[in-house]
Amino acid sequence: MMPFGAEYADVWKTLKATAEEGSWLCQRADDIWEDSVLVNDIVGLIARSKVVICDLSGRNANVFYETGIVHTLGREVVLITQSDSDVPFDLRHHRYIRYLNNSEGLAALKRGLMGRLQTLIAR
């Protein structure tokens, strides 16, 4: 789950590359069209997932809503953000990976995600 927009294109590429390296499938709602109602596709995607990565950067209301769905369905969640201030009070007790949206920051994000995903998927 992440905001859509050109400023997140490299972040999305990093998430996809991390998943491919681990031989995992990584999808966003814009990768599928199973239902005419977008939120139904999102819920279905979450329901089929073992782990969901949620990028809280920019305090996007849709991402917060979808993060709530992830928690409600009991899926593992990995929170990421570009800024600590984008993590709301109700999610501050969860660990998250902070990253910078540049080549060094995205390389660090990839390393951090790989370690976390390996741990969660091995469960």
The predicted-structure confidence for 59-88, as pLDDT tens digits, reads as follows 999 999 999 999 999 999 999 999 999 999
Concatenate the DSSP letters of all residues of the chain into one string. ----SGGGHHHHHHHHHHHHHTT-----GGG---SSSHHHHHHHHHHT-SEEEEE-GGG-HHHHHHHHHHHHTT-EEEEEES-GGGS-GGGTTS-EEE--SSHHHHHHHHHHHHHHHHHHHH-
Residue 89, pLDDT above cutoff 80 = yes
% residues pLDDT > 90 (the chain): 83
Q: Does 75 reside within a domain?
A: yes
What per-residue confidence (pLDDT) applies to 38? 82
For residue 109, give the CATH number of its domain: 3.40.50
Domain-located, residue 1:
no
Average pLDDT of span 29-58: 88
Asked if residue 103 belongs to a domain, the reply is yes
Tell me which residue range forms the domain holding 111: 6-122
Give pTM, 2 decimals. Answer: 0.92
24 domain residue, yes or no: yes
The pLDDT score that the predictor gives to residue 37 is 81
Count of structural domains within the chain? 1
